[in-house]
Structure 1
Amino acid sequence: MRLGLKIASLAIVFLILGCLGGGETETGQKTAKLIIFHAGSLSVPFSQLESEFAKYAEKELGIKVTFQDEASGSVKAVRKVTDLGKKADIVAVADYTLIPQLMVPNYTDFYVLFATNEIVIAFTEKSKYADEMLKNPDKWYEILAREDVSFGFSDPNQDPCGYRSVMVMKLADLYYGKPIFETLVEKTTNIYANGTHIYAPKEIIVKDKRVVIRPKETDLVGLVESGSLDYFFIYKSVAEQHNLKYITLPNEINLKDFSKADFYKKVSITLGSTGKTIYAKPIVYGITVLKDAPNRELALEFLKFLLSEKGKEIFRENHQDFLTPPVAFGNVPEEIKGLVEIKE
């Protein structure tokens, strides 16, 4: 049994080495680089995941692995491949639907749903009315509407957290029965709605200096930490990772609760950047290895590592829930079939 496992492991190593296109160190050790385009909200867990995978690959596969990480909004991450023709091994996004919408079948033929999250409003003790926000979280929209309060969200055209944030504010209209979207979004930007359908123009214009929009949600963290921005819409995992104060929102609007999916989908948004319409839905992250990945076999080993118990542990340590089990669609590689539930 052990001999068989050892032979299988050696076969994997030889297969990977044959596909690497990497090099060797002065001591003759094989080297390889993985290129990963990922959502900004995955930066912290992926940094830890890559560190642990590098140790694993060196010990078990005899390969010294380095990483070229590019964190961005998920829409931008996908468009680097589809529009700019950039090469990558792995694309991991905060909204899995971007992969079947924009990457299948030309750039990949499978994808895995692996993690979840929720939208919260984060701040620090420096934020105006921070104590009031903590004591009366149901008044969040009234506090954000005050003339001396600044708040932000990421660019809907580049980042799922951005389009989710504005959809949360439209869902809040339905839940609270008040014109929250009009007050916080339409009066302060050129993003507008017709009923429950939102339009995000290709070029977002901010009309009120109280509102700050940045390419990805993690770009706003430093502004809040420095006190130059009071509040921002962000994923709960990111707020936890940066030790920010935050309030949770009702399940009817926070995009966390799978049992509320029918309510969420009442709201939708059309993005000027892609022309695609997206319906509000529970937050689920997706990942894929590209067809023309420079180091495809090694990338699949990384994906296996992410889906392993060690990968799940890393996500738990970073306050992000992992799907149990992860769900895969498409032409699922043999290497991961035992780690996922396969659906048509």
Structure 2
Amino acid sequence: MSTGRGISRRAYLAAVGTAAAGGYAGCTGAAAESVSVLSAGSLATTFDDYVAPAFEAETGTAVHGEYYGTNAVMRMVEDRTKHPDVIVSADATLLRDRLYGEFTDWDVEFATNSLGLGYHKSTSVGRALDAGRPWYEVAREVDDGEVAISDPDLDPLGYRALQAFELAEREHGLDGFREEMSRRVYLEPEEPQLMAGVESGSRAAAVVYRNMAVDHGMPFVEFPDAYNFSDPSLSDHYSTAAYTTEEGYTAEGRPIIYNATTKQGADNPDAGRRLVQFLADNPGLLDEAGLTVTADLPRGHGDLPEDVEG
């Protein structure tokens, strides 16, 4: 896969106008080709504002995305309530555990992220964090519901928040911290709405990925490597914290890795594979969106199709 930094978003957006003028659909007025994406909610802005316009500018193929917690994404595929061309997960292992065999037999890892606290500056929480107080001290003092996490039964971001609370408890000697925080946080069932609650001031802060804070121009306190799930060398340490969903799936703590695949029987698998390859070939675009592409990415896994480089 390409190791170049890719074409910038500005260049792609400029190209969109040129492409539109040329008319990818041709002079006949026929509808342009499209590819459907069912993705982790944390990538909603990444796809809508960065990947979709860039991919359409390069290929003439429109991207239609739907965004939910990754657990919910997997359930929709398994239940056949959604029929996407491309499936994107915020937890590479979860996708393989749930979909390999029946729905796909390959994926490409394309980016990483880190966990932390996004917050509203004009709240008491924001003022305390801006003053340099440790986030865990501030979190223990706020009213119930002021700090939000996504629903851990629907979304890896939610169970990673609880795992982070457990690891922080050990790291800082905070007796009962995970249990206390799990009772006091507000559970947001719609991951894309997690930041909206903070932006509106209805929540003071939320445990989010770094790219989500970047997307919204929001202040962000990144957790230490010991519990931000960004360091592959700490995989064994992360795995000491786990969460079992209401469906009975036990997720051990692990580094954040986004991966993508196409669904067997997809309506437009060719365009789907082109989109997966595009994610792999444009790390610069992903970096601009607030994600991190490490030196060992992209990385293929499983039985890769011939037109997808691993």
Structures share fold, TM-score greater than 0.5 = yes
1:57 to 56, 59, 80: 59
Aligned to 2:301: 329
Aligned to 2:47: 46
Deviation at 1:66, TM superposition (A): 2.9
Q: Distance in 2 between matches of 1:125 and 1:25?
A: 49
Report how many residues are paired: 282
Aligned to 1:231: 205
Cα contact 1:119–1:233 (8 A) shared by 2? yes
**Helix, strand or coil at the partner of 1:107:** coil
**Helix, strand or coil at the partner of 1:238:** helix
Cα contact 1:217–1:234 (8 A) shared by 2? no
Question: C-alpha deviations, 1:1-31, integer Å up to 9, x for none?
Answer: xxxxxxxxxxxxxxxxxxxxxxx77706563
1:32–1:184 CA distance, 2 compared to 1 (3 A):
same
| Residue 136 in structure 1 maps to residue 138 in structure 2 | no
1:283–1:137 CA distance, 2 compared to 1 (3 A):
farther
Large movers: runs of 4+ above 6 Å: none
Matching of residues 154-165 of structure 1 within 5 Å? 154-165=150-161
Deviation at 1:147, TM superposition (A): 4.5
2:137 alignment partner AA: E
| Residue 296 in structure 1 maps to residue 250 in structure 2 | no
Unmatched segments (≥5 aa) in structure 2: 1-24
1:323–1:91 CA distance, 2 compared to 1 (3 A):
farther
Stretch moving more, 118-127 or 30-39: 30-39
Question: C-alpha deviations, 1:141-177, integer Å up to 9, x for none?
Answer: 2211225461100001111100100110011111112
**Higher fraction of strand:** 1
Unmatched segments (≥5 aa) in structure 1: 1-23, 59-64, 189-210
Cα contact 1:162–1:216 (8 A) shared by 2? no
2:64 to 68, 72, 76: 68
Aligned to 1:198: none
Q: Distance in 1 between matches of 2:103 and 2:225?
A: 35
Q: Distance in 2 between matches of 1:333 and 1:30?
A: 28
1:78 to 64, 74, 77: 74
Q: Distance in 2 between matches of 1:278 and 1:235?
A: 18
Matching of residues 171-210 of structure 1 within 5 Å? 171-178=167-174, 179-185=176-182, 187-188=183-184
Deviation at 1:212, TM superposition (A): 1.8
Cα contact 1:159–1:216 (8 A) shared by 2? no
Deviation at 1:218, TM superposition (A): 2.7
Cα contact 2:47–2:65 (8 A) shared by 1? no
RMSD of aligned alpha carbons: 1.8
Aligned to 1:87: 83
**Helix, strand or coil at the partner of 1:300:** helix
1:287 to 260, 266, 287: 260
1:27–1:165 CA distance, 2 compared to 1 (3 A):
same
Deviation at 1:68, TM superposition (A): 2.6
Larger Rg: 1
2:223 alignment partner AA: L
**Helix, strand or coil at the partner of 1:322:** coil
Q: Distance in 2 between matches of 1:148 and 1:109?
A: 46
Stretch moving more, 211-220 or 291-300: 211-220
Q: Distance in 2 between matches of 1:154 and 1:110?
A: 28
